[in-house]
Amino acid sequence: MALSIVWKMIKTILISNLVFLVLFFTNLSCKQKSNTANTSKKAKFLYESSFSYAKKLRIQHFQGYAKVIIEEPWLGAKQAFEYYLISRSEKIPSYLDKTKLIFVPVKSIIVLSTTTAIQLEVLGLLDKLVAVDSRANFSSQKIIRRIKKGQIKEVSKGRQINLEMIFELKPDIILSYGIGDPNSDTHPLFIRNKINHLLLATYMEEEALGRLEWIKLLGFLFNKEREALRYFKKVENKYLYFKKQVLNSKYRPKVFFNSPFGGVWYMPGARSWLARIVSDAGGDYLWHDNKNTASIRLNFESVFYRAKNADFWLNPAQDWHSLKDVIKADNRYRYFMAYKRKNIYSNNARLRENRANDFFEGAFIKPHLLLADMIMILHPKILSNHKLNWYKQLK
């Protein structure tokens, strides 16, 4: 009798557990179907923005939001970074990663790149800029004045980011960049502290127009797409006009860049934007056979072997203002043909009081004028009426 009662109890428990398992897996199946249904809803792809020169930026438009894809934010980066732009009036889809949402139009922004800040200036958006890294990095007088007035804060001292100030400012988004160095990159810090940010790869572009084309991203962030496109097209047309002026030139003077720093001569890679501008200006860059994007490390002897008979020497040390400064730095420079012919041109013609160089801001936002400078140096008869903007001849 007792055995019969125990058996009934066991059967009851087994049946109860079986019912529980059936209900559990049924519910799990329903959830999976629900998730699949949600995933299929986000698949309504509309179109992808067109970029003529920028290769590291993609923007895909879906119904209700846009996906920003940053390709290779630094040299050798193994992953792309994705973010989602969504209107403040839109309902947030459940399948989007909430940590990567950026609400547009952006109302306040912090930028840790001088070139991005200059793009904001061009678009008339400095009133949205609440902070930059440091005033010491800027040559823009408009931005410096706003910093002095306290309208723009400084959130960086060297490598140290002032998180407390960032939390006080409560920006909608921070635009930063990375070099793949955990000791200096800021985006891991923002991720750990759940701070909205977007990683840029502007400096990784191989063409000057490609770097400028990132202004279109700011257009999407601030609902200024037309203004951004208008500015870009205006500069592009002027750039292509100047480029066309030297297409039929048979003379292509030989060019090399920079001077040693810390015992190393950093020469731009042939796929860098600077080497590309030399080519567009009708010049022959001596390291055109090197297919790197980043600069290559050389010693004096290897540079002298290849560049001793070069026609032009561009972008030497920023503190060189005369040929005397060249010889003072190293007496061996007098053996370069460019020195003998006084064909050394420095890009330090617009140094500010704080020693910041407008070449890295003005030439970035106006690459057509930089190209015109290059043509004027390499082919002075073609642009005889042009006045140099960022370059000066060392005498």
pLDDT band at 44 (very low <50, low <70, confident <90, very high): confident
Q: How would you classify the pairing of strands 296-298 and 265-267? A: antiparallel
Tell whether the model's pLDDT for residue 25 goes beyond 50.
Answer: no
Tell whether the model's pLDDT for residue 13 goes beyond 90.
Answer: no
Tell whether the model's pLDDT for residue 40 goes beyond 80.
Answer: no
Q: pLDDT of 151-208, one tens digit each?
A: 999 999 777 899 999 999 999 999 999 999 988 899 999 999 999 999 999 999 999 9
Tell whether the model's pLDDT for residue 35 goes beyond 60.
Answer: no
Tell whether the model's pLDDT for residue 101 goes beyond 50.
Answer: yes
The pLDDT assigned to 42 comes to: 59
For the chain, domains (ranges, CATH) are 45-234 (3.40.50.1980), 248-393 (3.40.50.1980)
Token pair recorded at residue 49: 């923005």
Q: Is 343 helix (H, G, I), strand (E, B) or coil?
A: coil
pLDDT band at 369 (very low <50, low <70, confident <90, very high): very high
Report the run of H or E that residue 176 belongs to, with start and end: strand 173-177
Burial of 236 (0-12, 13-18, 19+ CB in 10 A): middle
Residue 152: partners with Cβ closer than 8 Å, 6 or more residues away: 126, 129, 130, 131, 132, 143, 146
Q: pLDDT of 219-264, one tens digit each?
A: 999 999 999 999 999 999 999 999 999 999 999 999 999 999 999 9
pLDDT band at 30 (very low <50, low <70, confident <90, very high): very low
- Yes or no: say if 311 and 338 are a contact pair by the CB < 8 Å rule: yes
Average pLDDT over residues 4-26: 45
Tell me which of 19-23, 81-85, 225-229, 280-284 is least confident. Answer: 19-23
pLDDT band at 62 (very low <50, low <70, confident <90, very high): very high
Tell whether the model's pLDDT for residue 383 goes beyond 80.
Answer: yes
Tell whether the model's pLDDT for residue 18 goes beyond 50.
Answer: no
pLDDT band at 352 (very low <50, low <70, confident <90, very high): confident
The percent of residues in the chain predicted with pLDDT above 90, rounded, is 82
Q: pLDDT of 105-134, one tens digit each?
A: 999 999 999 999 999 999 999 999 999 999
Q: pLDDT of 267-311, one tens digit each?
A: 999 999 999 999 999 999 999 999 888 899 999 999 999 999 999
The pLDDT assigned to 251 comes to: 96
Tell whether the model's pLDDT for residue 145 goes beyond 50.
Answer: yes
Burial of 89-114, coded b for 16+ CB within 10 Å and e otherwise, reads eeeeeeebeeeeebbbebeebbbbbb
| Cβ atoms within 10 Å of 314's Cβ, excluding its own | 24
The pLDDT assigned to 41 comes to: 59
The percent of residues in the chain predicted with pLDDT above 70, rounded, is 89
**Residue labelled with tokens 């720093």:** 261
